[in-house]
Amino acid sequence: RGSLGARLTVRGKQGHVAYPHLAKNPIHLATPALAELAAEHWDNGNDFFPPTSFQISNLNSGTGATNVIPGDLVAV
């Protein structure tokens, strides 16, 4: 048994929350894909190990400000 790590970067367009039509929120872009990967049936496991799973351990996005749509998201 082992693990496989990866970093996924989704680039959007930063903007002010009052003008969402001028921005592209990478969180909204990434969440359907991340949910689909987490729901995927990878294998059945075996007598020694449980089935393989996809686990997201970290999401990083935004500036810390609550009124700014982030420009990118990094999932690990």
Examine residue 45 and state whether it is found in any structural domain, yes or no.
Answer: yes
Examine residue 51 and state whether it is found in any structural domain, yes or no.
Answer: yes
- For residue 41, give Cα distances in angstroms to 9, 12, 35, 36, 76: 23, 29, 12, 10, 20
Query: Domain limits at 58?
Result: 8-75
Q: How many domains does the chain have?
A: 1
Examine residue 3 and state whether it is found in any structural domain, yes or no.
Answer: no
The pTM assigned to this predicted structure is: 0.84
Examine residue 1 and state whether it is found in any structural domain, yes or no.
Answer: no
CATH code of the domain containing 29: 3.30.70.360
Examine residue 67 and state whether it is found in any structural domain, yes or no.
Answer: yes
Examine residue 57 and state whether it is found in any structural domain, yes or no.
Answer: yes
Examine residue 69 and state whether it is found in any structural domain, yes or no.
Answer: yes
Residue 3's pLDDT band (cuts 50, 70, 90): confident
Chain segment 11-43, per-residue pLDDT in tens: 999 999 999 999 999 999 999 999 999 999 999
